[in-house]
Amino acid sequence: MVEELDLTSLECPEPFMKVVAKLMKMDSGELKIRYKDPKCREMILEAMKLMNCQVLEDKQANGIFSMHIKKEKSSMDKPNKKVELTGSC
């Protein structure tokens, strides 16, 4: 089952924060997200690299960004990985 989040009414950094929070709760699975704020795109893509996720689709149409993300269950979770957010919205 693919879960979907419509974040088109939110501005950065809220879409990013909601996507990361959702993926942190998931062991594995797929998530489709929709958002409008282009500033969140790079932040979301960086988080995907750190969370054992694969971006299956990343597109934009009519000012709406869509991303289809797949999270794999990891056999080697690294709970001590430190994440630093260096960008701003």
**Structure tokens that stand for 5 in this block:** 């989040």
In the chain, what are the domain boundaries?
A: 2-71
Q: What is the pLDDT of residue 73?
A: 81
Q: What is the pLDDT of residue 25?
A: 92
For residue 30, which of 38, 42, 22, 39 has the smallest C-alpha distance?
22
Q: What is the pLDDT of residue 56?
A: 96
Contact call for residues 55 and 48 (beta carbons, < 8 A): yes
CATH code, 2-71: 3.30.110.40
Query: Can you give the pTM of this predicted structure?
Result: 0.77
Residue stretches of the chain with pLDDT short of 50? 75-76
